[in-house]
Amino acid sequence: MKNIQVTLAKRPNGKPKASDFKIVKSKMYKPGEREALVKNLFVSLDAGFRNWMDEGSGDNVLPAMPIGQPVMGLILGQIIESNNAEIPKGATVMARLAWEEYSLLTPNDWWVEIEDDGSVPLSYHLGVLGDTGMSAYFGLTDIGKPEPGETVLISAAGGAVGSVAGQIAKLMGARTIGFAGNDEKCKRLVDVLGYDATINYNSESLDREMAAACPAGVDVYFDNVGGPLLETVLDHINEGARIPFCGAVADYGAQSESWGPSNLFQIVTKWATLQGFMTHTKLDRYPEARAQLKEWLASGQLVAHEQMYEGVEQCGVAFADLFAGNNFGKAVVHVQD
Amino acid sequence: MKNIQVTLAKRPNGKPKASDFKIVKSKMYKPGEREALVKNLFVSLDAGFRNWMDEGSGDNVLPAMPIGQPVMGLILGQIIESNNAEIPKGATVMARLAWEEYSLLTPNDWWVEIEDDGSVPLSYHLGVLGDTGMSAYFGLTDIGKPEPGETVLISAAGGAVGSVAGQIAKLMGARTIGFAGNDEKCKRLVDVLGYDATINYNSESLDREMAAACPAGVDVYFDNVGGPLLETVLDHINEGARIPFCGAVADYGAQSESWGPSNLFQIVTKWATLQGFMTHTKLDRYPEARAQLKEWLASGQLVAHEQMYEGVEQCGVAFADLFAGNNFGKAVVHVQD
């Protein structure tokens, strides 16, 4: 029995390309003491893993990925063999493993067991019920707190976090405005995700588009990417504005460019709040958030948007798409049933 | 009877100099209908008024100051003649008037009546009991909320806001660290204001000084000036840090330089909060704050530091000192008894 892996062929220069990765056939793992064998079902594509592809990029979360080794990522899988009593055979786990059909789970790897009650597709645990959905939920309920009728502006509005945040803000009664990088995506934000208006952030008259889309100003700016758009938005915030500034563990350090808004003093004059948060600080409240999200999913008030790729071989393509802006909703690779 | 005024002789180029202002003798005002005559007792020096000295700088608070006219500022005075039933003769007022011995208070001018119970020197209403004291108080009680033993770092630590904030943070049980621009001022921060440690922000090894003064990191950064120090501080904040980012009405727009911290994403990774506030949004809570501050003043736990200048003719010098960094505590001109 063989394993299929996608390895790091060379270190990406800037945005990753599919050719930075290589599909290889390799020997099947044989779990040793306290190890388990995972049949990977889904791979989550998260921009933050790009960080560990650089030379010398290791930190307390992961070491720098070695060339020629399978690319690290977040996966959903099933334990099919186990020498570790804490991870019984048959368990469904989310783990920080690799782009491959089967992975070895060692005691050093990060993992959590997933309670698969069959009420939602399993892959949702990587998206709407995972860190990206949690970012959307807590960013709005704990920080943004939009009042009905207020204007909520969302960056990367069609992405994994934004596609959920836009819908939640709408459920909370807000007027929702989404940023996207081209007119076609903007149209999808309205047609598919129900945004009230959109702004093409590549527009040459960005400030004018902002004013047109947010005539009453911005009460909440949900910034889930970081970056220079904040400067433009700060010129349009209302007094008392809230800016949830969100990251998930998987996106840690995703902000690699140097930038700084020259008008940060707007935070004072508009007595606004820029509040950062990392989803892992809210782990104890995931059950509460998941219960609410599942309720909205069940009633159809919330729709989970996934961009699904078929076969582990597609991991490199899917990852490159993420950086090329070719994604809508949560990008996931379906490895096998 | 003559009036002495300090007028704007020319528009300052960058930092104001004493020679930008001119002392003139003029005719005494004669209050018309609904006007009152104010005997000015103290003039408050506030950097924010610099904004209205520029050509075309008028806004919804004040018009641009005309050349040759008395310089606008915040004053404390007594009504000595009144044709306005709302402002009785004998009342003590704080008003946005001018650098002169006597001012005309028209229905268009901003003013509030001051309750002078004699428990503290009247001038305190421009400092520790005025907007700068309120900035210090609310910035710490509402946003910074230091726990005993936490590290509170304060910008412009010897200034009108900082000199009060440092003492309040200490009263709240925090370890207090102050920024100042030279070693002599740093020494005064420790000797006079009781700071636990200081950092000379002009040091060439600023980052190293930061680390030495704040070995346990920064839990609260009280930023009452805005500016590039924030970037340095962001590299030293702890998880969950709070950054009160404060302005008083008088400092509106005082931040004129363009700058932006290139590491703002630290707000996310440290799940920190950068919260702006303007004191005028808390007017309903001034009585509560003043009661507490008066209690601390009465018990000697809090000391009001004033840099007092004698005579209205000193307004220009005092204002220039503010920008040259030659101030310690709240800068006030005593006009007359």
Residue range(s) occupied by CATH 3.40.50.720 in chain A: 131-283+291-296
| Helices A131-138 and A160-171, axial angle in degrees (round to 10) | 40
- CATH superfamily placement of domain A2-127+305-334: Medium-chain alcohol dehydrogenases, catalytic domain (3.90.180.10)
Q: Boundaries of CATH 3.90.180.10 in chain A? A: 2-127+305-334
What residue type is B159 in one-letter code? G
* Confidence bin at B253 (pLDDT 50/70/90): very low
Distance from C-alpha of B207 to C-alpha of B72, rounded to nearest angstrom:
39
Measure CB to CB from residue A276 to each of B230, B253, B270 and give the nearest one: B270
Q: What is the DSSP string of B177-232?
A: EEEESSHHHHHHHHHTT--SEEEETT-TTHHHHHHHH-TT-EEEEEBSS-STHHHH
Token pair 């490895």 in the structure block, residue? A335
**Hey, is the C-beta of A228 within 8 angstroms of any chain B C-beta?**
no
Q: What is the pLDDT of residues A8-66, one digit of tens each?
A: 999 999 889 999 999 999 999 999 999 999 999 999 999 889 989 999 888 888 899 99
Task: Give CATH superfamily name and number for B131-282.
Answer: NAD(P)-binding Rossmann-like Domain (3.40.50.720)
Distance CA A18, CA B99 (A): 69
Interface pTM, i.e. ipTM: 0.88
What three-state secondary structure class fits A325?
coil
Per the CB < 8 A criterion, the answer to whether A69 and A89 are in contact is no
Whether chain B has a CB inside 8 Å of the CB on A144: the answer is: no
What is the pLDDT at residue A84?
94
- pTM: predicted TM-score of the whole model, two decimal places: 0.90
Instruction: Answer whether B268 sits within 8 Å of A278, measured CB to CB.
Output: yes
Alpha-carbon distance B312 to B70, whole Å? 11
Q: Structure tokens of B86?
A: 């709302």
pLDDT for residue B250 is more than 60: no
Mutate to test the interface with B, among A161, A264, A279 (most CBs of B within 10 A): A264
User: Which pLDDT does position B337 carry in this prediction?
Assistant: 94
Sign of the Cα torsion B64, B67, B73, B76 reads negative
For residue A256, pLDDT beyond 90: no
End-to-end CA distance of chain B: 17
Asked if B134 and B208 count as a contact pair (C-beta separation under 8 A), the reply is: no
- What class, spelled out in words, does domain A131-283+291-296 have in CATH? alpha beta
Closest in A247, A259, A270 to B276, CB measured: A270
The answer, for A171 touching chain B at a CB cutoff of 8 Å, is: no
> Running DSSP on this structure, what letter comes out for residue A70?
B
Residues in B closer than 8 angstroms to A270, CB to CB, are: 276
Residues in chain B with CB shorter than 8 Å from the CB of A261 are 260, 264
Residue A255 has pLDDT above 50, yes or no: no
Domain B2-127+306-334 grouped into CATH 3.30.360.10 = no
- Per-residue pLDDT at A254: 46
Beta strands in chain B (DSSP E): 2-8, 21-27, 36-44, 72-82, 92-98, 102-105, 111-113, 151-154, 175-180, 197-200, 218-222, 237-247, 273-278, 306-310, 330-334
**pLDDT tens column, A289-334:** 999 999 999 999 999 999 999 999 999 999 999 888 888 999 999 9
Q: Which residues of B touch A230 (CB under 8 A)?
A: 264
Mutation for B interface: A135, A271, A278, most B CBs within 10 A: A271
Whether B274 and chain A come into contact, CB under 8 Å, resolves to: yes
Residue bearing the bigger pLDDT, B196 or A256: B196
Residue A270 contacts B where some CB pair is shorter than 8 Å: yes
Helix then strand count (H, E) for chain B reads 8, 15
Q: Confirm if A44 and A73 have CB atoms less than 8 A apart.
A: yes
Q: Strands B2-8 and A330-334, how do they pair?
A: unpaired
Regarding beta strands A102-105 and A36-44, do their DSSP bridges make them parallel or antiparallel, or are they unpaired? antiparallel
Q: Is the dihedral of CA A224, A227, A228, A230 positive or negative?
A: positive
Cα–Cα distance, B183 to B193 (Å, whole number): 15
